[in-house]
Amino acid sequence: ACPIEVDRISHPLASAVGGSALLPVTLSYSLARTPQVTSLSPNRGTARGDTLVTLYGEGLEPLDSQGVATDLTSTNAVINFNGYDCVPQAANSSALSCMTTERNAGINVPSTSVFLEGRGYAIISERAEDTVFRYVDRWSNIYSWLESEPPV
C-alpha cells in the first residue's frame, strides 16, 4: 500500500449549516485490492443485448465493509461496455460474468468500465482488443433489419 496524505476534507453537511469541518485524513491505495481485467469473452454480441460476457482477471468480486468477498449484485457491481450497462450475473476472484443490455442509443466509442464495491474501478488491460466488447449484428441475420425485412 502506498500512503496518500490529504491535508483537509470538508464534509458537505458541515457547510450546509454554515460552518465547515476540516479534518486531517490519511488514505491508502493498494494495487493488490484493485480489480484488473485482462480479457473478456465473447468480444462480440448482438445489439439486441442478452449476450453473456465473461471478464477475466484478478480481484473480480466485490468486497463488503470488512474486506470480505461478497455476492455479486447490480448494486455492488457496475459493468459497462461502450456506454451500455451489462447486468452482473456471477463472480469469483478471477472471472466475472454479465448480461449485455440493448444498444439502443447509437454506436459509441468502444470502452470497458468495471466498478466493484470495496475495490473501486478496475484496471483494464492496455491490449484493447482483449478487453473491448463490440455490438455487432451480421448482415445475414434477419433481425438486423427493420421489420425483419432485409433489402432485396
Can you give the pLDDT at residue 137?
77
pLDDT digits (tens, 9 = 90+) for 32-54: 789 999 999 999 998 889 999 99
pLDDT at residue 92, rounded to an integer: 94
Q: How far apart are CA 103 and CA 100, in angstroms?
A: 9
Extract the C-alpha cell encoding 65. 465493509
Centre a 10 Å sphere on the Cβ of residue 32 and count the other Cβ atoms it contains.
Answer: 7
Cα(76)–Cα(72) distance, rounded to whole angstroms?
7
pLDDT of residue 125: 83
Tell me which DSSP letter residue 63 carries.
B
- The reported pLDDT for the residue numbered 4 is 55
Quote the pLDDT of residue 1: 46
Alpha-carbon gap, residue 132 to 127, rounded angstroms:
9
The reported pLDDT for the residue numbered 126 is 73
The three grid cell numbers given for residue 90, joined into one nine-digit string = 456471477
pLDDT at 65: 85
Q: What is the pLDDT along the chain (152 residues), one digit of tens a residue?
A: 455 555 555 555 555 555 555 556 666 667 778 999 999 999 999 888 999 999 999 999 999 988 899 999 999 999 999 999 999 999 999 999 999 999 888 888 889 999 999 999 999 987 778 999 998 877 666 666 666 666 66
What pLDDT, on a 0 to 100 scale, did the predictor assign at position 3? 53
* pTM of model > 0.95: no
Cell numbers describing residue 131: 478487453
